[in-house]
Structure 1
Amino acid sequence: MKQFLLGCVAVMALGAAASAADAKTYRIGVAMYGLKGEFAQSWVNEAKKHPAIKDGTATLTVFDGNYDQLTQDRQFDEMIAQHYDAIIFDPIDSNAGGALVARAEKAGIPVIGSNGPVKAANEAAYIGSDDVKAGEDEAKAVIDKMGGKGNVVILQGPVGQLGSIQRYEGNQKALAAAPGIHLLEKNTANWSRAEALNLMQNWLTAHPGQINGVIGENDEMALGAIAAMRSQGIDPATVPTAGIDGVHDAMVAVSKGYMVLSIKQDAFTQAQGAVDLALRHIIGDSYKPLSTCWTMYPSMKWDNGEGKLYNVPWTYVTKANVQQFLNK
């Protein structure tokens, strides 16, 4: 009898081991344009907190594109060669990114866009925010603070990245409605605070006393411009500056009056929503979202994970409400 019971226990143990071995762990790769900026780091941290990642249903491997298209191209090849189940994509070059999406789709790997759009009709889904609107609204904030008169400069994102292109489109809309505003300079600083600092220093030297407002297509570049002004003895509070992302240092700058506006992106919703969408495209319509991000905004519905575009609303951080964000 004892031997029989031991045999049963052994069979049950083998069955449990076989069942565990059969359990599928889904592999999701994340191709980020770069990880130097605070927002990208926040996005990754939020994605790693997704319930499916924490309970082992899926694993998340993050690839740092390091702001280089060839690097991101090689990383896609690696994920395809290793048969990842899905890829979440934030491109460096939105045009070149389309070919990467097509390559993954040919290999049967769904690609979910997040934060930065890509020009690819075959992308499984995209979750992000309306960059044209953000670009228009940040420019309006600077123009209004300037009283509708004076010279502005624009710090742009990477050349070819659709997010930067769309934010500049919004900038142009606001400028077109303000005939008293002159665009003095515009150039890329690649979303980088350090590059923006150097670029802004050059502009301040080339146009002494003539820059009356700064439009940064993200917060990191706006903060670089502020650092450049301070390095040359200019009070940033006298030169209206705005940015996009809602990073911590930008909120501090808003509280001090150095920035008139930071338009906050929701890293939690963009990241965890992308993980849910990736799992939905891997598993099928039996999958139900695990993140609470889908309860955040009445205008953004899960819709059984079948949508192509999920628009995450912006949050506007000003001197009037910044403290509530800093308190968090």
Structure 2
Amino acid sequence: MKKLLLTAGISALLATSAVAQTIGVSVARFDDNGLTIMRNGMTDHVDTLDGVDLQVEDAQDDVARQLDQINNFVASGVDAIIVNAVDTNATDAMSVAAASAGIPLVYVNRQPINMDTLPDGQAFVASNEVESGTLAAFQMCQDLRAQGKSGGAQAYMLMGQLSNQAAVQRSKDFHDVIGMDMCNFITLIDEQTANWSRDEAQDMMTNWISSGEPFDAVFANNDEMAIGAIQAMKASGLSMEEIVVGGVDATADALVAMQAGELDVTVFQDLAGQGAGSIDTALKLAAGEEVDKTVFIPFKLVTPENVADFLN
């Protein structure tokens, strides 16, 4: 009887081990508010699953460090890998490393440069960046028109890291919108990168203000930079009622700024949904299931009129 129980116990243990899965996750940087929301979306989702463990690493905005992390995941035999790329132009080597080991790989939030040639067993989970910048810029155009500035308005643009596909696409979106007949009354004075940073954006905006050039709008590739610009404008005594400011992400701080009448436009990027979606996609690939190469989580426009819908 004891032997039978022991055998049954070993069988149960082996079955449990066979089911248990480990997903290695490399995030571009931990000290980013938006990526923290995404990372929390992953961990919260995994807490609802049985037999799934996460090994999450901070790449600290270092491409070489991130590639080392992926190689370490491969060497440790994880069941799947999720990557939030530091540099979206440097993903070829990551795809090769995972594909060579037969380990599924999911890119999340930032589109890899090799999107069109992703190997089997690899996918991309994010939101369509064509929507993000377009939604924000078009709403800003409408707001400027509502202020009676369709005869001519001037704007600045704060860009994210130019090695990042989202920054490039959101900036292109803005250019495309102000090239439309309805919005071509907007003139872009200058565009500079502030690397997604609130502090860098505040410094950049302070410099622009000190030039004395009048402006009517500030389009930022993300909310952190929009908030930095707002801080600079407030410190300079500018009226936030007269300047249209837009960002992307609908972070908690951005929603507070919108309620305060400082931020006019943002776009909800379901970062937690992206995180959870990347986990589900990785598990499906690890199980040998077919998934779409691209899994899009929709963006949603946020304005003072509907901001309450996005508050916790």
Common fold by TM > 0.5: yes
Partner-residue secondary structure (3-state), 1:63: strand
Seen in structure 2, the aligned counterparts of structure 1 residues 108 and 185 have a Cα distance that, compared at 3 Å, is same
> Which position in structure 1 is the counterpart of 2:30?
35
What stretches of structure 2 of length at least 5 have no aligned partner? none
Partner of 1:48: 43
- Paired position in structure 2 for 1:211: 215
Instruction: Report how many residues are paired.
Output: 301
Q: Confirm or deny that 1:187 pairs with 2:182.
A: no
Matched, 1:75 2:69: yes
Query: Which whole-Å deviations, capped at 9, do the CAs of 1:164-191 have from their partners, x for residues lacking one?
Result: 1111111110121233221111111111
- Map 1:30-179 → 2, pairs under 5 A: 30-51=25-46, 53-120=47-114, 121-122=117-118, 124-146=122-144, 147-148=149-150, 149-177=152-180, 178-179=183-184
Which of 268, 275, 280 is residue 284 of structure 2 equivalent to? 280
Instruction: Say which is worse superposed, 225-234 or 215-224, in terms of deviation.
Output: 225-234
Letter aligned with residue 169 of structure 1? K
CA–CA distance in structure 1, aligned partners of residues 14 and 136 of structure 2: 57
Displacement of 1:63 after TM fit? Answer: 1.8
Residues 107 and 140 of structure 1: is their aligned pair in 2 closer, same or farther, counting only changes over 3 Å?
A: same
Match for residue 258 of structure 2?
254
**Is the Cα contact below 8 Å between 1:116 and 1:163 reproduced in 2?**
yes
- Residues 110 and 143 (structure 1 numbering): CA distance in 2 closer, same or farther, change over 3 Å? same
Equivalence for 2:20? 25
Query: What letter matches 1:125 in structure 2?
Result: A
Higher relative contact order (CA 8 A, sep 6+): 2
**Which contiguous aligned blocks of 4+ residues in structure 1 show a shift greater than 3 angstroms?**
5-20, 53-56
In structure 2, do the counterparts of structure 1 residues 29 and 11 end up closer, same or farther at CA, with 3 Å as the change threshold?
A: closer
Alpha-carbon shift at residue 267 of structure 1 (Å): 2.0
RMSD between superposed Cα atoms in Å: 1.9
More divergent stretch after superposition (239-248 vs 126-135): 126-135
Q: Which runs of 5+ in 1 are unaligned?
A: 286-304
Q: 1:306 to 1:15 in 2, by over 3 A?
A: closer
Shift of 1:200: 1.4
Alpha-carbon deviations, 1:268-305, whole Å to 9, x = none? Answer: 321111111101111123xxxxxxxxxxxxxxxxxxx5
Q: Which residue of 1 aligns with 2:231?
A: 227
Residue identity opposite 2:98 in structure 1: A
Kept in 2, the 8 Å contact 1:152–1:215? The answer is yes
What letter matches 2:123 in structure 1? A
Contact 1:102 1:122 in 2 (8 A): no
Give yes or no for contact 1:30–1:88 (8 Å, CA) kept in 2: yes
Matched, 1:199 2:193: no
Q: Is the alpha carbon distance of 1:117 and 1:200 closer, same or farther for their aligned partners in structure 2, counting shifts above 3 Å?
A: same
Using the TM superposition, give the Cα deviation of residue 54 of structure 1 relative to its aligned residue in structure 2, in angstroms.
4.1
Q: In 1, are the aligned partners of 2:222 and 2:249 still within 8 Å (CA)?
A: yes
1:313 counterpart = 2:298? yes
Does the 8 Å contact 2:250/2:269 carry over to 1? yes
Identical-residue share of aligned pairs (%): 28
TM-score when normalising by structure 2: 0.89
Q: CA deviation at 1:11?
A: 4.0
